[in-house]
Amino acid sequence: MIRPLLVVFFSLGLCRPLVAALPVDPRRFDKEIAAFDRHDTTNPPPQRPIVFVGSSSIRLWPDLPGSFPNLPVLNRGFGGSQLSDVLFHLDRTVLRYRPSRVVLYAGDNDLAEGRPPETIAADFETFVSTVRDKAGPIPIDFLAIKPSPKRLALLQEQKRANRLVSDVARRHPDVSVIDVFSPLLDPRGEPDGKLFAADRLHLGPAGYAQWNRVVGEHLTNARPAKVGGPSP
């Protein structure tokens, strides 16, 4: 009876795969990264921008610069990227712009591919140290891994990953975790389906409205970025 039960659990998405996460090739995003290069030649990015980087929740953010019209925002989200992909492409998506601030959304796809919360926290530690080494003491914000109806089975893993990343953030000055997780929950503490797109994974307009509000408040109240430090 064990095998049939496992089949049912996996089909319903009620448990994680009992396999180790497979390695991924970060070069699978080369076309998207090259598209940023081409876009920059005809649409010069703002000076010292706030770079939003990470997976499709960043890439699909409707009119991200228009959401924060008084800030020099640059969207460099790509594909279904994981934190390791962001690290691999960090020079071309973040550092070359000499950002005044970096806002990262990653970890969602990592958990879905079987990576443990501890790996996400360790990769975020690497992200912070690499950015600080090459761009100076600029502020870094981590958007908390969001809940979603499609990945309800990962809800506790998402919470644990957010806690571990918060532990990393507390060890570094001007590194914050922005709670974009809680505003997406319904009164039962589960993802509010009204805030998500039809795929039940990505945010819909109402979900992004919540993110605009929370992130906008954080950026408005944040301390000014420290200018200077090493050039990328």
Read out DSSP for 81-110?
A: --HHHHHHTHHHHTGGG--SEEEEE-SHHH
Percentage of the residues of the chain whose pLDDT score is greater than 90: 82
User: With 80 as the cut, is the pLDDT of residue 3 above it?
Assistant: no
Residue 197: exposed, middle, or buried by beta-carbon count in 10 A (0-12, 13-18, 19+)? middle
| Per-residue pLDDT, 21 | 63
> In DSSP terms, which residues pair with 185 in a beta bridge?
191
How far, in Å, CA of 181 to CA of 195, rounded? 12
Contact indicator for 161, 107 with CB cutoff of 8 Å: yes
User: With 50 as the cut, is the pLDDT of residue 227 above it?
Assistant: no
Note the pLDDT tens digit of each residue in 78-113.
989 999 999 999 999 999 999 999 999 999 999 999
User: With 80 as the cut, is the pLDDT of residue 223 above it?
Assistant: no
Which stretch of 78-87, 154-163, 205-214, 222-231 has the lowest confidence by average pLDDT? 222-231
Nearest Cα neighbor of 203 from 108, 93, 73 is 108
What's the chain's average pLDDT? 89
Residue 200, Ramachandran bin (φ over 0: left; ψ between -120 and 50: alpha; else beta): left
| Per-residue pLDDT, 4 | 42
Contact indicator for 131, 168 with CB cutoff of 8 Å: no
User: With 60 as the cut, is the pLDDT of residue 231 above it?
Assistant: no
Query: What value, to the nearest 5°, has the Cα angle with vertex 87 and ends 176 and 62?
Result: 65
The sheet carrying 101-105 orders its strands as 73-77, 50-54, 101-105, 140-143, 175-178
Residue 2's pLDDT band (boundaries 50, 70, 90)? very low
Summarize the confidence of residues 168-185 as an average pLDDT: 98
Please list, residue by residue across 27-37, b when 16 or more beta carbons sit within 10 angstroms of its beta carbon and e when fewer do.
eebeebbeebe
User: With 80 as the cut, is the pLDDT of residue 167 above it?
Assistant: yes
| Per-residue pLDDT, 61 | 98
The larger pLDDT score, comparing residue 151 to residue 21, is at 151
Map tokens 């953010």 to a residue. Answer: 61
Radius of gyration of the chain (CA): 18
| Per-residue pLDDT, 79 | 87
Please name each of the domains of the chain with its CATH number.
Answer: 28-219 (3.40.50.1110)
Identify the DSSP state of 81.
-
User: With 80 as the cut, is the pLDDT of residue 179 above it?
Assistant: yes
Residue 11's pLDDT band (boundaries 50, 70, 90)? very low
